[in-house]
Amino acid sequence: MTTIVSFIIVLGILIFIHELGHFLVAKYSGVGVERFSLGFGPRLIGIKVGETDYCISLIPFGGYVKMMGEAPDEEVSPEERAKSFTHKPLGVRTSIVASGPLMNIVLAMVLFPLLFMMGIKVPAYVDKVPQVGYVAEDEPAERAGIRAGDEIVAVDGRSISTWEELMKAIALSPDKRVTLRVKRDGREFTTELTPTVSREGIGVGGLYPPMRPVIGGLTPGFPAHRAGLKEGDLIVAVDGKPVTHWIELQKLVKKSPQERTILVEREGKRFTVELKPRYNEELDVYLIGVTRLEEFVTRSYGFFESVKMGLVKAWELTVLLFVIIKGLITGVYSIKTLGGPIMIAQVAGKAAESGLTDLISIIAFLSLQLGIINLLPIPVLDGGYLVFFAIEWIRGKPLSDHFLSIANQIGMALLLALMVFVTWNDLMRIFTN
């Protein structure tokens, strides 16, 4: 029930804000609004105020604002011509169409700073001394001679005392040489490290904080769950090889389907289980279905710092969205990783159970994605109409009704096909797990 209610709340807010943008600018511009609907299809309930019918419709996946004279071929009387969307200047029509996705983006820009002021959860290790727990093979840190147990005390001559300071320095130096001051066994030395560039464009050093291989969650239906492992179990060894770091566990299981002997410690007692990793096509790795137990702390920030951090977060998510879109087009990412309404409902449900902050975070994230995606130049989406308006501005006259009709039919067919596909993906995740 929590999942369903949360899904309705999240989706309702996103749709309402989007359509409210269209509605307010249309009203301000003198365009007659015949219907403001949350949902599509048959009208369920509503109230008519003046010329506008405010209602909730049967199909909840979207909404619309029906404006007077919206369809180019719609007959409009001479008296109604002044309120007709089609007969408004190009600039007015453009602002009305753009206002929906822009309202979603504005909502995200408001919510992200609010989250930082309310307090966000961050991994507890970010405030701890930057002592290295693991060094990845063939990564910059290994080439720089850094080992597990080393403590990083300075970057480019500036003293640091936390993992957050170290991670930020490396992330902001992609493909740029940085000088590290390292403490080992009571002695200090200097080395140079050149972070590689990740897909997101940030620097990666290949060094990680201590992460004990303690299970924090299990995926139903996967080998670890079926073998009876529980949250809080400590993985001590794999095939007789001691495991002291979570990444060591990942490395030992992700590349091979062969059965593994896992030594587990639970409440001071040790036992072994046999696990055969399961292949994950989307990630192209073998998994046993466990996630790490992680400690979090809550941080709150002042108004101005929250605004700055919120804008940075929104920008990072925007860049990430386009990286993913590019990856889907080029085949770097599988389209099977796409999720639909069922996944959104599950995420919203979990967020609601975690608390108000997590629920607001999901709303902010989805609102930003919805706003940006709606601006993509695809027929039926707002971005498609903006492209048509741009062409109209260049040509000096609107595109033909026939062309617009065919383009919108193609766009609608593509969106429906995508909706069916992502829903199928959601169902496959449920039934194969």
Active-site residue among 19, 295, 305, 392? Answer: 19
Residue 83 CA to residue 33 CA, distance in Å, equals 9
The Cα 285–Cα 254 span in angstroms is: 5
**Residue pair 318/372 in contact by the 8 Å Cβ criterion:** yes
DSSP 248-314: HHHHHHHT--S-EEEEEEETTEEEEEEE--EEETTTTEEE--EEE---EEEE---HHHHHHHHHHHH
Of 186, 240, 243, whose CA–CA distance to 210 is shortest?
Answer: 243
Active-site annotation holds for 265: no
Query: Alpha carbon of 4 to those of 9, 220, 279, 352: distances in Å?
Result: 9, 21, 31, 11
Distance (Å, whole) CA 131 – CA 129: 6
How is residue 398 written in tokens?
Answer: 């609107």
The amino acid sitting at 396 is: G
Residue type, 290: V
DSSP states along 70-116 = -STT----TTTGGG-STTS-HHHHHHHHHHHHHHHHHHHHHHHHHHH
Phi, psi of 4 (to 5 degrees): -65, -45
The secondary structure of residue 398, as a DSSP letter, is P
Residues classed as catalytic? 19
